[in-house]
Amino acid sequence: MKNVKKYSRGYFMPPVTSLKWTQKEYITEAPMWCSVDLRDGNQALVVPMSLEEKLEYFQLLLKVGFKEIEVGFPAASETEYAFLRTLIEQDLIPDDVTIQVLTQSREHIIEKTFESLKGAKKAVVHLYNSTSVAQREQVFKKSKEEIIDIAVTGAKLLKKYAAETEGNFQFQYSPESFTGTEPDFSLEICNAVLEIWQPTADNKVIINLPATVSMSMPHVYASQIEYMSDHLNYRENVILSLHPHNDRGSGVADAELGMLAGAQRVEGTLFGNGERTGNVDIVTLALNMFSHGVDPGLHFENLPEIVAVYERMTRMKVNERQPYAGKLVFAAFSGSHQDAIAKGMKWREEKDVEQWTVPYLLIDPQDIGREYEADVIRINSQSGKGGISYVLEQQYGLEFPPQMRESFGYAVKNVSDHLHKELMPNEIYDIFMKDYVNIKTPVEFINYRSTQNDDYRTVVSIRINEEMQEITGEGNGRLDAVSNALQSKFGITYKDLVYKQHALETGSKSNAVSYIGLTAHDDTVYWGCGIDSDITTSSVKALFSAMNKMIVSLQLPIDKEYSLIKK
């Protein structure tokens, strides 16, 4: 690409090696979660939420299980100020939930922020100022010492107004644009703030290290986090927090490696809503932990319901391929994938195992409120015989012989390919019923009657071109006798008759389903199915269905004496 030389790496590795996080395999416990949907997420919406919508969304976040929720920037907007006062005055904040508000390091903003918080049971006041090289040089045109003074002045003002305001307050500081700041300077400014606040075990402080703009590969961010964790003053009384954005598409990786590096808290949003490419997606982070057998401490057991509320409130859409939440993330169209999933599900059922190891499915869709039938096996022209037969077995109780699956699979794929669309289970069922079940042309089965001596002697009533006739055959069973009668009468032969039958449904009114495959002289196998309340009758109907498919496929005309004219 052109212009590549204009870009440089505007981030900084720590001055000392910080790689202890590389020795950890996975995250062993959930962090403290803080939702910033109602502030960072809301400010990024084309149409920000109204007061009523914010109140409803707040209830959604409580239902998910968030114990820390950033509710806004109350000094910046009357809607956000009114929202915060409504939460406090109407006692809508549960006792175990902490609200959080954002403020710049400017006295009139800090003053109004504490005014909005009057009477809060517990609130985090989040102070920030930008510290990166680019911001210092281009925006503020200030030295490092002047930037430190902004932070320290703000820290002092928070202590002053907290002491004068009714409520219970915890402090948080963010060196905004941390990822573009020299790590030693980030450490210097954070420690300067900590010296003002002097946190204790009973009054801990949050130091939040945001990837305001994601600038590096995730391992660099992790090294920066570990460096800060190792060198912050008052570390045992500091809650180290992350706020990753997703500019490079690595927000989840940044957060996960940052937690390995010592972070105890994560700020993010549902489905990654936020400025530019968004914040880190807490749903993905939490369910990634869940997939490793670690309880994330949040409730996504009914994820489709959460998606519906989110889309209605934000007027945004969850992408179909969004991890865990997208409509297609558990869907398998590929034949090999479908076959593996179907066999994996069958193996789980047979072995009664506890651990989830189904191929291609990271977690059990039902654990987050998804359905196998609607979500897992999806049928189009790319689908395979295993997936197609799985759909009919799960939805309609039809259990094809293995040899029949290929024949029906091609029939379904041809329809999907012709229509250029995905086929729903009812459409697949309709294809099966039309093309395989109780086929009545050109030879229609009416009924039969049998007598038995050494062999069965069976008289079969048939209809051809609206004319009735009876044919007779003998065999070692009723089905064999009917088969012999058909071959004798019509002068056709077939071999390797494949037969399977099962009950279609439980109960006294259950139907029997029979499948029959007939191999013609050219080794083509023709499949038919019969469904009837009587098991033998269902077998005879399956035989007629297969034979009729053979007659039509081979284009064997029937003369007026009802025998087949061979070409």
Both tokens assigned to 220 = 């660099």
Within-domain flag for 195: yes
**224 and 115 assigned to the same domain:** yes
DSSP assignment string, 226-240? HHHHHH-TTGGGEEE
Q: How many domains are there within the chain? A: 3
In a domain, 153, yes or no: yes
Q: Which of 436, 455, 485 is the last residue of a domain?
A: 436
Per-residue confidence (pLDDT) for residue 335, from 0 to 100: 67
> DSSP for 196-224?
HH--BTTB-EEEEEEESS--S-HHHHHHH
CB 103 within 8 A of CB 75: yes
The sign of the dihedral angle between the CA atoms of 412, 415, 417, 423 is: negative
For residues 358 and 379, membership in a common domain is answered with yes
Contact of 473 with 482, CB cutoff 8 Å:
yes
pLDDT reported for residue 567: 39
State the CATH number of the domain containing residue 280.
Answer: 3.20.20.70
Q: Would residue 564 count as lying in a domain?
A: no
What are the two backbone dihedrals, phi and then psi, of residue 69, each rounded to the nearest 5 degrees? -135, 120
Q: Tell me: do 367 and 275 sit in the same domain.
A: no
- Using left for φ > 0, alpha for ψ between -120 and 50, and beta otherwise, residue 352 falls in left
* Residue where a domain stops, chosen among 314, 347, 376: 314
Is 328 part of any domain? no
Last residue of a domain, one of 436, 461, 493: 436
Structure tokens at 31: 């962090």
| Cβ 501 vs Cβ 513: under 8 Å | yes
| C-alpha R_g of the chain | 35
Opening angle at CA 258, ends 144 and 292, nearest 5: 170
Closest CA to 408 of 378, 429, 394, 439: 429
How is residue 421 annotated by DSSP?
A: S
C-alpha 237/C-alpha 198 separation (Å) is 9
Q: Report residue 36 as tokens.
A: 């910033």
CA dist 24 and 231 (Å) reads 20
pLDDT tens, the chain, 567 aa long: 989 988 888 899 999 988 999 999 999 999 999 999 999 999 999 999 999 999 999 999 999 999 999 999 999 989 999 999 999 999 999 999 999 999 999 999 999 999 999 999 999 999 999 999 999 999 999 999 999 999 999 999 999 999 999 999 999 999 999 999 999 999 999 999 999 999 999 999 999 999 999 999 999 999 999 999 999 999 999 999 999 999 999 999 999 999 999 999 999 999 999 999 999 999 999 999 999 999 999 999 999 999 999 999 999 999 999 999 999 898 877 667 778 888 898 899 899 888 999 998 999 999 999 976 556 766 666 766 677 787 788 788 999 898 898 888 888 888 888 888 888 888 989 999 999 999 999 999 999 998 877 688 999 999 998 889 999 999 998 999 999 998 888 888 888 889 999 998 755 467 999 999 999 888 899 999 999 999 999 999 999 999 999 988 887 766 545 444 443
Statement to judge: residues 302 and 364 lie in one domain: no
Instruction: For residue 469, list its beta bridge partners.
Output: 462
| pLDDT for residue 560 | 47
Count of residues in the chain: 567
Asked if the structure places residue 320 within a domain, the reply is no
* CA–centroid distance for 292 within its chain: 16
Q: Are residues 247 and 294 in the same domain?
A: yes
- Cα 519 to Cα 226, 254, 406, 502, distances in angstroms: 70, 60, 15, 22
User: Are both 107 and 216 inside the same structural domain?
Assistant: yes
- The helix or strand, by DSSP H or E, that contains position 286, with its residue range, turns out to be helix 282-291
Which tokens go with 100? 């959080």
**Claim to verify: residue 300 and residue 363 sit in the same structural domain:** no
Q: In 3-state terms, what secondary structure has residue 381?
A: coil
Within-domain flag for 6: no
Dihedral sign from CA coordinates of 430, 435, 438, 444: positive
CB environment 432-444: b (16+ within 10 A), e (fewer): beebbbbbeebbb
Range of the domain at 412: 335-436
Q: Rounded CA gap, 440 and 552, in Å?
A: 12
Burial of 291 (0-12, 13-18, 19+ CB in 10 A): middle
The secondary structure element, H or E, covering residue 191 is helix 183-197
Rounded CA separation 539/500 (Å)? 9
Same domain, 372 and 467: no
CA 175 to chain centre: 34
Query: Has residue 355 been placed in a domain?
Result: yes
Same domain, 284 and 226: yes
* Among 98, 48, 65, residue whose Cα is nearest residue 282: 65
**What count of other Cβ atoms lies within 10 Å of the Cβ of residue 385?**
21
* Residue 329 in domain: no
* 359 and 476 both lie in a single domain: no
CATH code for the domain in which residue 509 is found: 3.30.160.270
Asked if 100 and 116 sit in the same domain, the reply is yes
Say whether both 289 and 369 belong to one domain.
no
